[in-house]
Chains A and B, each alone.
Chain A
């Protein structure tokens, strides 16, 4: 039976791109289906992810898997080439720990800081920087979180590797700089210059425009709320 792999995603979503990057790293052919989120989700997406109704969803031979980190674990177990997790159980546990840290601590903190209006930025930015400082300690002088090659933690941190600099450009905020976090900053360069990573990322100008539009919309909303 020919293998059928589909990804339901959104072009600007880092969670969606995590899945695409993992598949591309392992040389897996897949069909990509763009979902119009959040307002116009397809009946298929709602059928395949009835619990969260979110992208990304991986469909493998008709069977759906949701939640990007769960999908990454599945991809790792199903396609053995170019592993993204270490073989040693302790090192694997460390990788899972840091991937979880990125998801549960870094992403919410960076998201909050990124969309906060200028007047309310100080605390969210401070908290986001604390997360980045902690994450930097996980690099421990390595080229990637995964060592010599891109691994699960690098893939999980795709937002930090690519989206964050564009958010900084759009807002003038300084979260991740070479002065503040030299090792992590260097990692972002290494990460995006990897050919397979480069090929899996959304186009820079399109994403920057999208981010700017979202920030403008968030500011308008904040002004509307303030004047009510």
Chain B
């Protein structure tokens, strides 16, 4: 099998998306941690357009943008499928992956803002969580049904980031009584062994954000 390398960063949810997908499919890879304040020549060569992680390098060829990488991984290693077979169900999955890409990042902004701006970001985040719970997850255990899939992976950062936000805000954004289904989902998601064994160190994360 051709060599697989991942250029990533220890706290990035986008980096973890790729790790979770590779682990779920049992793909061996070499992980290389990037210092984003001092980007390596390899990163700049492999992702000249965005200069960002994650980058997957397969047989020497780089693929950038985590959701593009996830689709590539699914196609090259079809075992333990992360997308449904039915084209309509796949379209629904892709819709939510795009939603996670476009709207998800609002949550990361809470820590970096203050005062009125932070309040606005919190309100937008809560709106987003409500939409995900009502329209995306519904009453399912995972976004794709009974098993973990690409949409869960795409929203995976929501599973661990609320822990950080709770310390910063002094309250839990993803309160169980406000978002019962999404709250349950974070527990189910984190219990999946390949996820449980691959989460950033909360202590280290808190030190950085508080």
Closest chain-A Cβ to B126's Cβ sits at a distance in Å of 16
Chain B contact residues, majority secondary structure: helix
Chain A contact residues, majority secondary structure: helix
**Bound state CA distance, A78 and B67, in angstroms?**
21
A51 touches B99 (CB 8 A): yes
Contacts of A65 in B (CB 8 A): 88, 91-92, 95
Against A, the Cβ 8 Å flags (1 = close, 0 = not) of B46-87 are 000100000000100101110111011001100000000001
B68 touches A100 (CB 8 A): yes
Q: Could you say which of A60, A73, A93, A101 has the most chain B C-beta atoms within 10 Å of its C-beta?
A: A93
**Bound state CA distance, A106 and B69, in angstroms?**
21
Among residues 88 to 129 in chain A, which have CB atoms less than 8 Å away from a CB atom of chain B? Answer: 89-90, 92-93, 96-97, 100-101
A73 touches B91 (CB 8 A): yes
Contacts of A73 in B (CB 8 A): 90-91, 94
**Bound state CA distance, A146 and B117, in angstroms?**
43
Contacts of A77 in B (CB 8 A): 87, 90
Contacts of A172 in B (CB 8 A): none
- Tell whether A74 pairs with B90 under 8 Å between CB atoms, given A100-B65, A134-B49: yes
Contacts of B49 in A (CB 8 A): 101, 134
**Bound state CA distance, A153 and B142, in angstroms?**
32
Q: How large is the interface on A (under 10, 10 to 19, 20 to 34, 35 or more residues)?
A: 20 to 34
**Bound state CA distance, A134 and B50, in angstroms?**
10
- Tell whether A74 pairs with B87 under 8 Å between CB atoms, given A89-B76, A93-B68, A134-B49: yes
Chain A residue with the shortest CB-CB distance to B136: A51
A69 touches B98 (CB 8 A): yes
| 23 examples of A-B residue contacts, CB within 8 angstroms | A51-B131, A51-B135, A65-B91, A66-B95, A67-B94, A67-B95, A70-B95, A70-B98, A73-B91, A74-B90, A77-B87, A89-B75, A90-B58, A90-B61, A90-B72, A92-B71, A92-B75, A93-B71, A96-B68, A97-B63, A100-B65, A100-B68, A134-B49
Interface residues of B (CB under 8 A from A): 49, 58, 61, 63-65, 67-69, 71-72, 75-76, 87-88, 90-92, 94-95, 98-99, 131, 135
